[in-house]
Amino acid sequence: MRVLVALTYYRPYTSGLTIYAERLAVGLAQRGHHVTILTSQYDPSLPTHEVLRGVHVVRVPVAARISKGVIMPTFGWEATKLSLTHDVMSLHMPQFDAPGLALRGWLQRKPVVLTYHCDLQLPHGWFNRIVDRVVQVSNRAAGMLATRIVAYTDDFATHSPYLSHFRPKVTIIPPPVEIADCSAAEVAAFKQRYNLQGPVIGMAARLAAEKGVEVLLGALPRILAAHPTARVLFAGPFEQVLGEEAYARRLAPLFEQYRNHWTFLGTLGAHDLATFFSACDVITVPSLNSTESFGLVQVEAMLCGTPSVASNLPGVRQPVQQTGMGRVVPIGDAEALAHAIVDIIDHPATYHRDRDRVASLFSTDLTVTRYEDLFRSLSGRN
C-alpha cells in the first residue's frame, strides 16, 4: 500500500505531533508499505527530498509565515502529484492545507484519514482571531471531506467541539508510544553527571506557552519547602523555539531565580530520554489548554517506572486514569501541582504499576496495526 502522510512540520522539528507521525510512518514502512511525508521546508537548510528511516520525505519551500502556520505556493502542485500516486492519505491536523488535500482524495475517490491531534489556540489579538476563524472553517471543510477521523481517546473526542461535530466518523486509535531500554548503571551515571542529590521532577516538552511551564515554576516554592534538594530537569527544545521567543523572555527571570533547582537538558536522543525518565521520581504535564490532547511523554515515563502528574484536560488525564500511575490536578493550579508532586515523592509505592500492563495499553505496534487495518478496510484491500 502507498500511504501519503501530510503535516505542517516533520523531523527534525520536535513536538508530540511530529514524533507521532514519525513513529507511524516508520512503522508502516517497516511493514513493507511505501510511505511519503509531505511537509514544509520550515528550515531552508533542510533538503527538499530525502529518505529518513525508510520514509520518503518531500519538503515544500516556505514563502511566508502566519503565526505558526506557513504559506507554501508550490504545495498544491506537490500535493496533486503525490495524491495521484498513493492509495490512501493520512492527514495530521491542525494543518492549514488539510482541506485541499482532502478535496484531492475525495475527487480521486481515495480514502482520506484525518488524525486530529489537538485544538489550535492562538495568542490574543484581532489578527489571530481572524486566523483562528479561518482555521475553524478550514478544519470543518477537511472534516466534511474526510473518510474517517482518528482521535487518541474517547475522552478528548467527546469534549472537543470539532470532533464532537463529526462523531460518527471518529475512530479511536491510541497513540504510538515507545521507549528504549537502559540499565541501572546508566541511570546512576546520569544522576552523577547532573549531581542529582535529591528528588528529581521531570518535564519533557518544548518551551511553549501552552505547556504550563510557569505552573511548575509557581509550584517550586512549596516543593522546595518539603524537599530542599529537589531539582527540575527540563528535556526538550528551550532556545529559539518557533513562535515562543516572547514567552521564553517572560520566564527568564524565574529560571534565573531557580537556577540551582532547574536544569535545561535540551533535546535528548531516544536512549538518553529513557535514562532521563528512569532517573526522575515524577514527571509532570501541566498543560493549560486543549492544544495538548494526550501527552505521549506520560506513557514513556510510565514504561520507565515513573508516575505522572497531569492537568485535568480531556485526553491529557487519560494515561493517569487508565493506569492509576500518578495524579490529575486542576488546570493551572500551582498549589495542587506541588501537593501532588510531593505526595508522589513521599509515597512512590502507591503509584507503582506493572510495566507490562502499561505496555498492553499503549505501543507503536498497536497503533500501526490499527491504522493498517483502517487503511485496508477503507481501500478494500485484504
Count of C-beta atoms within a 10 Å radius of residue 181: 11
* CATH class for the region spanning 2-176+363-379: alpha beta
Is residue 249 within 8 Å of 276, Cβ to Cβ? no
Range(s) of the chain covered by CATH 3.40.50.2000: 2-176+363-379, 184-361
Please give the residue that has the higher pLDDT: either 133 or 63: 63
* Nearest of 228, 230, 212 to residue 334 by alpha carbon: 212
Buried b (16+ CB within 10 A) or exposed e, 30-59: eeebbbbbbbbbbeeebeeeeeeeebbbbb
Cell numbers representing residue 277 in the block: 525518565
Distances (CA, A) of 337 to 107, 169, 230, 310: 50, 36, 15, 8
| Distance of alpha carbon 124 from alpha carbon 130, whole angstroms | 11
Q: Which CATH number fits domain 184-361: 3.40.50.2000, 3.80.30.20, 3.30.70.20, 1.20.1050.90?
A: 3.40.50.2000
Helix, strand or coil, per DSSP, at residue 258: coil
pTM, two decimals, is: 0.84
pLDDT (tens digit per residue) in 86-110: 999 999 988 888 999 999 999 999 9
Taking only the tens place, the pLDDT of each residue in 43-95 is 999 999 999 999 999 999 999 887 677 889 999 999 999 999 999 999 998 88
Minimal CA–CA distance to 177: which of 365, 49, 355?
365
Band of pLDDT at residue 23, cut at 50, 70 and 90: very high
One-character DSSP codes across 324-337: --EEEE-TT-HHHH
Length of the chain: 382
CB of 139 closer than 8 Å to CB of 331: no
> Which pLDDT does position 67 carry in this prediction?
67
Q: What does 59-75 look like in DSSP terms, one character per residue?
A: EEEP-EEETTEEE-TTH
pLDDT over 90 for what percent of the chain? 79
Averaged pLDDT, 324-333: 97
Average per-residue pLDDT for the chain: 92
Q: How far is Cα 279 from Cα 271, in angstroms, rounded to an integer?
A: 13
